[in-house]
Amino acid sequence: GHKSQLAEKGSYITARIHDQSIFVGRGEGGALKAFYNVCQHRGHELLEGTGRTNVIVCPYHAWGYDFDGNLRAARNSENMTGFNKCDFPLKPVRVEELCGLIFVNLDADAVPLKEQAAGLEEEIRHYAPNVDDVVFAQRDTFNVQSNWKVMVDNFLECYHCHVAHKDFVDLVDMDSYSTTVNGIYSSQLAGAAKSTDNSAFTFEKGDVDFGYAGWFLWPNLTIWVYPGDANISVLQMIPDGPDGTIEYQDWFLPTPTPSKQVAEAMAYQRDVLQPEDISLCESVQRGLKSNGYNQGRFVVDRTESELSEHAVHHFQSLVADALGAELE
């Protein structure tokens, strides 16, 4: 989510991390607070989607909580012996803000995100200087029959772009395309196309005039900035079993209603680029099960050009490290 979605007191957003439901809101002092989205009475989930409420009331038995996680009301508890509301607070979840974007971490002892991804905030602010001022505009959802790691692999290289994304390579200057890996994130940058009238979408020189910027943040999140008017989008790749992924792409813009040019960019992403990538990844998912395939080789050139797959190798190394495995 983005901080603009929590601008009002009592506003909240929910999210699911694997089988854990989380909600984020603002406490009485205005600080971001995140909690496991479950009532401490009998385990019913408290909130759904996004919204605004003065009191968090469980839909099952109406136990009520404030946004600091304190239990404020428990029907009929006054007739119980030894019942103390202080014994039943919501369980907190670690929450951080980076460039206006909201992140949660189920590991309370994890190193802060700004330290884990040192340099990412500065890069995003350089290429999306308005990131603090945008608001949520739209969410696009994609159901993909492919493992999430195949989807990440695909994002991390443009070796396939000239072959599979004819419009994208017309949108940016591919001669300037570069991918840089850095700890738990990587960056993809390219200059703007020589002509603003291209086959992907047309744009005038706007708030974003350098071209394209994309970032991958471990394990399954990408951030995009397209040429043209100010825009930033966040794509999450949520595992849905070993053979499936649900993608959520959230667009954040200066206003909830996109400009004509950004609306064209959003339509291109939703109706052209995403279907192209989904088709590729679903084919790879089927191919990985073939008896005729064992293991290929990454194409990594010395200059780490736009045709290099070094960022894919970097990601798969992160996967291996997380699993405690060793790559040969």
- What average pLDDT does the segment 100-123 reach? 96
pLDDT category of residue 325 using cuts at 50, 70 and 90: confident
Phi/psi at 319 (5° precision): -60, -50
Q: What is the pLDDT of residue 28?
A: 82
Q: DSSP string spanning 221-247?
A: EEEEE-SBSS-EEEEEEEE-STT-EEE
| Dihedral (CA of 139, 14, 151, 244) sign | negative
Alpha helices in 82-156 (DSSP H): 113-116, 120-127, 148-155
Q: Which of 11, 252, 226 is nearest to 131 (CA)?
A: 252
The single-letter code of the amino acid at 279 is S
Q: What is the pLDDT of residue 207?
A: 59
Phi/psi at 22 (5° precision): -130, 150
Higher pLDDT, 192 or 231: 231
pLDDT, one tens digit per residue, over 73-88 is 999 999 999 999 999 9
**pLDDT of 155 higher than 70:** yes
pLDDT, one tens digit per residue, over 201-212 is 877 766 565 689
Contact in structure between 24 and 34 (CB atoms under 8 Å): yes
Q: What is the pLDDT of residue 247?
A: 98
- What average pLDDT does the segment 95-116 reach? 95
For residue 277, give both structure tokens.
Answer: 């990538």
In whole angstroms, what is the distance from residue 171 CA to residue 199 CA?
7
315 Cα distance to chain centroid: 16
Could you tell me the maximum CA-CA distance found in the chain, to the nearest angstrom? 76
Identify the residue whose tokens are 């009238």: 197
pLDDT, one tens digit per residue, over 124-154 is 999 999 899 999 999 999 999 999 999 999 9
Q: Which of 266, 287, 308 is nearest to 160 (CA)?
A: 308
Contact in structure between 185 and 216 (CB atoms under 8 Å): yes
Q: Is residue 271 within a helix (H) or strand (E), and if so which, with residue range?
A: none
Half-sphere exposure of 159 (CA within 13 A, CB side): 16
Q: What is the pLDDT of residue 84?
A: 97
Count of CB atoms within 10 A of residue 10's CB? 15
Q: Which of 226, 244, 247 is nearest to 236 (CA)?
A: 247
Question: Helix, strand, coil: what percent of the chain each, to 5?
Answer: 25, 30, 45
In whole angstroms, what is the distance from residue 215 CA to residue 99 CA?
13
User: What structural domains does the chain harbor?
Assistant: 3-115 (2.102.10.10), 118-322 (3.90.380.10)
